[in-house]
Structure 1
Amino acid sequence: MTDTRDLALKAKAWPFEEARKLIARTKGKAPDKGYVLFETGYGPSGLPHIGTFGEVARTTMVRHAFAAMSDIPTRLFAFSDDMDGFRKVPDNLPNQEMLAEHLGKPLTRVPDPFGTHESFGHHNNARLRAFLDGFGFEYEFKSSTECYASGEFDAALLKILALHDEVKNAVLPTLGEERRATYSPFLPVCPKTGHVLQVTIDEARPDSGTVI
């Protein structure tokens, strides 16, 4: 055992304490996929800020502590929830009136108010990556839009569809009264308005992979 490994295993700082929990959870062995995945989330409805930095920094600290204590490979995904509905126009953006016309749409279908990218979501994703790169973070960027479009989520979505009612009933007690009234694990995009809908799903059809 190296001196560095020995020091890491004895360290009491919080990143090492969190890493120790992960090592216990994995029983000291790599998962079947061959690595332990760390992940951060970013909602690109606004520009990256100090909170964004903090989330990635804290996760990176735990990841580094884990690497110092274990030989299990790791990966870090910086995941952008860019299919989220655009709920409010931030005060620090240009073209406020134009943006207000697109409330409710997925962020990657809202025009870029700065005019530099194909959408507001794409603009903020680019800002996020430049922000993280500027601080030297090691990560892999993931976009919700790209994951849905590529089919990367299909297998998981079909599993949720097959267990739609069970998942719904497990989540409902954790929600407020207003959200409970329309909650479903699926948030469809309306083909007419382009809005992300928080609507009741009347019927889940696993055989055809659809919801009504």
Structure 2
Amino acid sequence: MARGASGDPTDWVTRAADDAIRHAQQRHGEDLAGHVITCASGASPSGPIHLGNLREFITPHFVAEEIRRRGIAVRHLHSWDDFDRFRKVPAGVDPSWSEHIGRPLSAVPDPWECHESWAEHFKAPLRAALAEMGVEMEEVSQTEHYRAGTYTEQVLHAIRHRDVIEEVLAKHRTKKAEPLSQRAGAENEQEAEALEDSVADEDDAPTGSGDLARFPYKPYCRQCGRDTVEITAYDDATTDLSYTCTSCGFSGVTNVAT
């Protein structure tokens, strides 16, 4: 623990650990016995993990280790955003994999045929590398959480307040910026492209037309598994959502609440 003459921390790890402990004490009281502080990270397993991505894992690891060193219960919780859509076919992969664009990363086959899915193919080597570095973390799969209905209430809340959400977003929405991979100062093309894949694109195609154009929820098509759907109707009373898939032509109804 590095601190200056005044007692203030001089390094970011100590400062972050101090902040985390202070927030936990404000919530649970001075004595944290029986409570666990969570240091969280998250990443989309859309491609190879490089040095730039590694920072996402190492930062909470260092903070968690400092908290643990002080005798306080802590965990490093990592969220795999493996329910993100497969956006594009990278160089070196059979072009036929374009068939899977729009499907969850966890539902896209591994083109190298060594893992059960695209997502697992890129999770595995990272797990091995982190283990060699002594990084321990609890992993959660967003695919599992979404399919289990973990976020159903939050999704319904967003839908109920969609007009308010849209008002806020409209105040801050700007035109599409220059691609990160083309900006001056980008460290390398691979890192820039990975970052672009990990953030939301506000200029993605509308979810529907009229009042449904900015609907805050879009299902994966029940027929083909892609997210290339246009929402055609929503019933606030029943939470029935009607959609048509622009890829396979399927039209169906899904109930958001169930």
TM interval, short-chain normalised = 0.7 to 0.9
Alignment partners' CA distance in 1, 2:130 and 2:83: 21
Structure 1 length normalisation: TM-score?
A: 0.77
Structure 2 length normalisation: TM-score?
A: 0.65
SS at match of 2:76: strand
1:88 aligned residue: 88
Asked if structure 1 preserves the Cα contact closer than 8 Å seen for 2:13 and 2:66, the reply is yes
SS at match of 1:46: coil
Asked if structure 1 preserves the Cα contact closer than 8 Å seen for 2:159 and 2:215, the reply is no
2:12 aligned residue: 14
Alignment partners' CA distance in 2, 1:204 and 1:175: 27
My pick for the range that moved more, 73-82 or 183-192, is 183-192
Alignment partners' CA distance in 2, 1:168 and 1:204: 18
Alignment partners' CA distance in 2, 1:60 and 1:187: 34
2:156 aligned residue: 158
Higher relative contact order at CA 8 Å, sep ≥6: structure 1 or structure 2?
1
Alignment partners' CA distance in 1, 2:84 and 2:50: 18
Could you tell me which amino acid in structure 2 is paired with residue 124 of structure 1?
A: F
Asked if structure 1 preserves the Cα contact closer than 8 Å seen for 2:39 and 2:74, the reply is yes
Deviation at 1:134, TM superposition (A): 2.6
Gaps of 5+ in 1: none
Q: Which has the larger radius of gyration?
A: 2
* Per-residue Cα deviation, 1:121-143 (whole angstroms, up to 9, x for no partner): 22223333223223221111111
SS at match of 2:100: coil
Decide whether aligned partners of structure 1 residues 12 and 168 sit closer, same or farther in structure 2, where only a CA change above 3 A counts.
same
2:67 aligned residue: 66
* Per-residue Cα deviation, 1:177-207 (whole angstroms, up to 9, x for no partner): 47367344323212344222485685363x5
Matched, 1:185 2:233: no
Deviation at 1:113, TM superposition (A): 0.7
Alignment partners' CA distance in 2, 1:176 and 1:203: 27
2:99 aligned residue: 101
Alignment partners' CA distance in 2, 1:192 and 1:176: 34
> Taking every aligned residue pair, what percent have the same amino acid on both sides?
26
The count of aligned residue pairs is 204
Matched, 1:196 2:227: yes
Could you tell me which amino acid in structure 1 is paired with residue 216 of structure 2?
A: P
* Per-residue Cα deviation, 1:148-189 (whole angstroms, up to 9, x for no partner): 122332333333333333334333444444736734432321
Deviation at 1:28, TM superposition (A): 4.7
Could you tell me which amino acid in structure 1 is paired with residue 222 of structure 2?
A: P
My pick for the range that moved more, 97-106 or 167-176, is 167-176
Alignment partners' CA distance in 1, 2:215 and 2:41: 24
SS at match of 1:101: helix
1:35 aligned residue: 36
CA-atom RMSD, angstroms? Answer: 3.3
Alignment partners' CA distance in 2, 1:128 and 1:172: 38
SS at match of 2:140: strand
1:169 aligned residue: 167
Alignment partners' CA distance in 1, 2:17 and 2:90: 36
Alignment partners' CA distance in 2, 1:143 and 1:13: 32
1:45 aligned residue: 46
Gaps of 5+ in 2: 177-201, 207-213, 243-258
Asked if structure 1 preserves the Cα contact closer than 8 Å seen for 2:49 and 2:126, the reply is yes
- Deviating above 6 A after TM superposition, structure 1's stretches of 4 or more consecutive aligned residues are 4-7
Could you tell me which amino acid in structure 2 is paired with residue 57 of structure 1?
A: I
